[in-house]
Amino acid sequence: MDFDTTIGRREFIKNLAISSAIIAAKAMIPGVLFANEADFKGLGDLDWNKTPCRFCGVGCGLLVAIKDGKAVAVKGDPQSPVNKGLCCVKGYHSIQSLYAKDRLKSAQIRKNGKLVNVPLKEALDLVASKMQETIKKHGKDSVSMYGSGQWTIPDGYIASKFMKGAIGTNNLEANARLCMASAVTGFISTFGLDEPMGCYEDIDYADVFVLWGNNMAEMHPVLFSRILDRKAKNRKVKIIDLATRTTRTSYASDKSMLFVPQTDLAIANAICYEILNSGKANFDFLKKHVSYKKGKTNIGYGLEDGFKFKDKLEGIDLDAVKKFLEDYTPEKVSKYCGVSVKDIRYLASLYSDPKLKVMSLWCMGVNQHTRGTWMNNLIYNIHLLVGKISTPGNSPFSLTGQPSACGTVREVGTLTHKLPYGVVMSEKAREKAAKIWQVPVSKIPSKPTHHTVSMFRALDRGDIKFMWIQVTNPMVTMPKLKRYRDGANKEDRFIVVSDIYPTPTTEIADVVLPSALWFEREGMFGNSERRTQHFNQLVQPPGQAMSDGLQIMEVAKRMGHGAMFPWTKENYIEKIWSEYSQFHANDKHSMAPYEVLKENPGMRWPYVKGKETRWRFHAKYDPAAKGDSYDFYGKPDHRAWLIIRPFEMAPEPPNKKYPFLLCTGRVIEHWHTGSMTRRIPALHQAVPEGYVEVNPIDAKELGIVNNTKLKLSSRRGSIVLKALIDGRARPQPGELFVPFFDESLLINELTLDAFCPISKQPDYKKCAVKIEKV
Amino acid sequence: MPIFSYLVYPRMGKKEELIKSLEGIPECKTVDSTNEDIVVLLTDTSSEEKEMHLQETLKQVPEIEGMALVYAGE
């Protein structure tokens, strides 16, 4: 994992030294800014180029300096409206992710149990022949592809066209199912259309920020800096951290409220109860713009193979909503949620104060939840009750974790049920895709097949025999990992992995294809605020590495589908953008032209008549909205749907044998499974290994001190970790936290593969475990 | 040929003078925070001997309230 120091070694070390100091300052002083972090004089004349950062969903603009064909320096792009010149620690070190010594530069095929280097042509030939052979023998639904929110938009588009249009299977999924699916189903059920109505500019207008289970200081540090900057300029601004664990975000907030995991459902309902019963709801807004619905209850957890669920919404009235909320008075909820009656009322008062603009922000705490869709619905319910939505500063805002979870997975639709426009179940959407792809409509199947957990279960059972994994590391990230690793390793399964470094996922591969990373190729990402950002190829990929999209096109050609991918290596991005844009050619979603994206630090869709859209569903800002105010045009009645959702327990509560509740997550220094950031010396040294956070009360009772080795066990597996007490964060008594970045300490051996029955997104935040000193 | 980086805290109201003093030392380079009283200092010397000398020089800078070493490398 050593860094290749042949690129201006001394200059590199100097930049590393400066970056390290900036990291330290940012850790000590939240919100500290270094607008011109380094002048890079020592590096001589540099060619600075814009590119979005790829290490979270915020989409910060970077400037990358290229010298002698290599990336040698990076700084925040002051022209980027996203980050205004700021970066987080991952951004400042991002370019080093290209140059670790064990970078995959050659294709590999497993021979006699070992991966050996082979010419790329041989590997691509094998992938194509194996895929064809599998389809011939077992049918088209026996092959699958699994990508991620780190796919560029064109790569995701190629994957969708290949799997759904060329092969004719809906066995296409992406790891965004594990992080954003509940946000999608939340948007769809409440508004009929996906993705936030607001944008990051809401931060510049909001008076109150309510963070729902969202450690923004570590997970979205640049946006959190913008919030702190807003607060620094306006002392009346309030930040409320509503969380299950005390974190750096809590310390920087005005108020930290800790709740019992899963009871966020009840707290949201209690806020709604209080707003309605104090007479502070915006009844005029409700009358004009909101419909009321109820869905199914006791909906299960998806723990068994073949689990099926389909929600059904029924119309109700406001009185029924009031009646439903009687079970959620602050007094009743406070008894089991851990938040005081006073604090619940305080939250309700902030949301309902007509003088205050309120922004709610959330990410994995809400989405990785067996009732994730419901939680998204409930936060919208609060905003709808007070009419604080779709205007500057009034914004329920679902943050994303990956650079193109929105742009690729959600917009292109690299999920089993999706097409670039609409869903496979819709004849109109299939007809549109067939027309643009020039294939018979009958080629595109009308039924979704497997969501992610189901897909890996199918691989284990043998219903799927072939899987091509790109840009993601499921052998670290899948919950209940052992089952899915054992399944992938079974005798007659064939696994292809496209990646840039060896990972636990390449360990299960029969073929490894070396991928080009980020600006080693041209592409686009789409961030959390509907902003599409183009980046040029700035350097050559090493060895045989090529973009994931080109790999798919090469295999498609070998399988006889070349006519669907008639583009060249030089023009395929521009050509794909032109073709893909046809899917969204309407006022509700039109994309900026290729030339505009190339010239600008991103554009937010809908891009209509040369203008981007900042706030959707309001006629003042959104060209698709009719009338003179709100128009929730995603729903047939042009209203937002307030859907009542109850509190239901998590599937695996602690008991006598497994008395602790385990939560997993990330740390600021590492990107997801650490396959890139653990190869960056400064980041690796900052957090070199996984650990388990223990509350000091539990630690005292069990005789645990820092670095005590603890065996963590769930019903599914065990690992040994060192204890960390009051490090960067503190879980509540009876709870533990373990980050998942460390591939040598696989916490997902313990986690449960329960998921939200509506979104099919797993819950990585709640499973029962025990700890023993070893 | 040591390279070090530090976080440097200026005495109250002396940040501008501190940066001026540090930038006046050939082996020093600073990165200023735009919103807090803190400065990143990078030092780059050509030998151990010169490094020792630089550290003595830094001790004499009157505007420094405190320093914290962050990075050390060669």
CATH code assigned at A765 = 2.40.40.20
Residue at A524 is within a domain: yes
Same domain? For A343 and A463 the reply is no
Q: Coil, strand or helix: which one is A685? A: helix
When pLDDT is averaged across residues A59-71 and rounded to a whole number, the result is: 94
Neighbouring CB atoms inside 10 A of B16's CB total: 11
Strand partners, A642: A292
Contact A271, A337 (CB under 8 A): no
The proportion of chain A whose per-residue pLDDT surpasses 70, expressed as a percent, equals: 97
Pick the range with the lowest mean pLDDT from A81-90, A337-346, A554-563: A81-90
Nearest by CB to B38, from A14, A32, A36: name it: A32
A705 touches chain B (CB under 8 A): no
Residue at A431 is within a domain: yes
What does the DSSP assignment read for B1-70? --EEEEEEEEPTT-HHHHHHHHHTSTTEEEEE-SSSS-EEEEEE-SSHHHHHHHHHHHHT-TTEEEEEEE
pLDDT at A4 over 50: no
Same domain? For A113 and A253 the reply is no
Interface TM-score (ipTM) > 0.85: yes
What CA dihedral angle connects B16, B21, B23 and B26, to 10 degrees?
A: 180
Same domain? For A459 and A494 the reply is yes
Residue at A113 is within a domain: yes
CATH code assigned at A13 = 3.30.200.210
Number of domains, chain B: 1
Minimal CA separation from B73 to chain A, in Å: 7
Residue at B7 is within a domain: no
pLDDT at A200 over 80: yes
- Chain-chain contact of A33 with B41 (C-beta, under 8 angstroms): no
Residue A214 burial (C-beta neighbours within 10 Å; 0-12, 13-18, 19+): buried
Nearest by CB to B5, from A10, A18, A28: name it: A18
pLDDT at A33 over 60: yes
Same domain? For A35 and A73 the reply is yes
B33 vs B16: CA distance, rounded Å? 11
Candidates A2, A9, A11, A20, partner chain B, best to mutate (most B CBs within 10 A): A20
Question: Band of the pLDDT at A443, cuts 50, 70, 90?
Answer: very high
Minimal CA separation from A230 to chain B, in Å: 13
Residue at A621 is within a domain: no
Residue B36 has what pLDDT? 87
Number of domains, chain A: 4
Residue A411 is given by DSSP the state: I
Minimal CA separation from A17 to chain B, in Å: 5
pLDDT in tens, A543-566: 999 999 999 999 999 999 999 999
Same domain? For A485 and A462 the reply is yes
Same domain? For A75 and A193 the reply is no
Same domain? For A232 and A329 the reply is yes
Same domain? For A146 and A208 the reply is no
Same domain? For A360 and A326 the reply is yes
The residue among A549, A566, A583 that closes a domain is A566
Residue A40 is given by DSSP the state: -
Question: Band of the pLDDT at A1, cuts 50, 70, 90?
Answer: very low
- Chain-chain contact of A16 with B73 (C-beta, under 8 angstroms): yes
Nearest by CB to A33, from B35, B40, B73: name it: B35
Question: Band of the pLDDT at A139, cuts 50, 70, 90?
Answer: very high
Contact A345, A233 (CB under 8 A): no
| Amino acid occupying residue A155 | D
pLDDT in tens, A455-479: 999 999 999 999 999 999 999 999 9
Question: Band of the pLDDT at A722, cuts 50, 70, 90?
Answer: very high
Pick the range with the lowest mean pLDDT from A257-271, A567-581, A675-689: A675-689
Domain that holds residue B31: 12-73
pLDDT at A27 over 90: no
pLDDT at A504 over 80: yes
Residue at B48 is within a domain: yes
Q: Which of A150, A714, A678, A752 is nearest to A478 (CA)?
A: A752
pLDDT at A7 over 50: no
pLDDT at A263 over 70: yes
Same domain? For A212 and A148 the reply is no
pLDDT at A6 over 50: no
Minimal CA separation from A228 to chain B, in Å: 11
Residue A425 has what pLDDT? 98
The residue among A43, A69, A98 that closes a domain is A98
CB-defined contacts A:B, below 8 A: 67
Residue at A614 is within a domain: no
- Chain-chain contact of A21 with B1 (C-beta, under 8 angstroms): no
Residue A685 has what pLDDT? 86
pLDDT in tens, A178-193: 999 999 999 999 999 9
Residue A262 burial (C-beta neighbours within 10 Å; 0-12, 13-18, 19+): buried
Question: Band of the pLDDT at A89, cuts 50, 70, 90?
Answer: confident
When pLDDT is averaged across residues A300-326 and rounded to a whole number, the result is: 97
B30 vs A39: CA distance, rounded Å? 10
pLDDT in tens, A202-250: 999 999 999 999 999 999 999 999 999 899 889 899 999 999 999 999 9
A33 touches chain B (CB under 8 A): yes
- Chain-chain contact of B31 with A17 (C-beta, under 8 angstroms): no
Same domain? For A158 and A86 the reply is no
Same domain? For A411 and A551 the reply is yes
CATH code assigned at A454 = 3.40.50.740
A116 vs A107: CA distance, rounded Å? 8
pLDDT in tens, A403-436: 999 999 999 999 999 999 999 999 999 999 999 9
Distances in Å between the alpha carbon of A727 and those of A667, A682, A687?
12, 19, 12
Q: Which residues in chain B are contacts of A20 at CB distance < 8 A?
A: 5, 70-71
pLDDT in tens, A608-635: 999 999 999 999 999 999 999 999 999 9
Residues in chain B with pLDDT values less than 50: none
**3-state secondary structure string across A587-650:** CCCCCCCHHHHHHCCCEECCCECCECCCCCCECCCCCCCCCCCECCCCCCCCCEEEEECCCCCC
- Residues of A annotated as catalytic are 90, 179-180, 364, 401-402
Residue A21 has what pLDDT? 81
Domain that holds residue A136: 107-174+403-566
Residue A2 has what pLDDT? 38
Closest residue in B to A25 (Cα–Cα)? B7
pLDDT in tens, B23-41: 999 999 999 988 889 999 9
The proportion of chain A whose per-residue pLDDT surpasses 90, expressed as a percent, equals: 91
